[in-house]
Copies of this chain bind each other. A is one copy, B any other.
Amino acid sequence: MNKSEHFDESLQDIAKFSRVLSHPARLAILKFLAEAETCISGDISDFIPLGRTTVSQHLKELRDLGLIKGEIDGLKINYCLNSLKIKEYLQLFDSFFNEIQASEIKC
């Protein structure tokens, strides 16, 4: 049923990026990681008003797209932003909207 694959790959990439950003919990996680002194998984769950396993799932989605990295430190896992990957996706995103906004309005 899903016909997403009928579209340009660059559109699909932007759509994938957007989808991951389309839940406020995931945005809140990104914000938390940007501000936190420490970024241990447990601290994130404490901060986000959702159950631990739910947060873990949101972390997985961010990880799967590469927006965050997790480094194992004994029992705990330190998560942090993958600024490079984020920059990469933002560039795609920006160039899409630059094209869009550059157009003359014709109707």
Q: Which A residues contact B (CB, under 8 angstroms)?
A: 3-4, 6-8, 11-12, 14-16, 18-19, 21-25, 27-28, 30-31, 34-39, 49-50, 71, 78-81, 83, 86-87, 90, 96-97, 99-103, 105-107
Contacts and interface: CB of A to CB of B under 8 A. Distances in A.
A83 B8 CA distance: 23
A107 B8 CA distance: 36
Contact of A80 (B11, B101, B107): B107
A27 B25 CA distance: 24
Q: What is the copy number of this chain in the assembly?
A: 2
Max chain B Cβ within 10 angstroms of own Cβ: one of A31, A35, A36, A97: A97
A101 B101 CA distance: 24
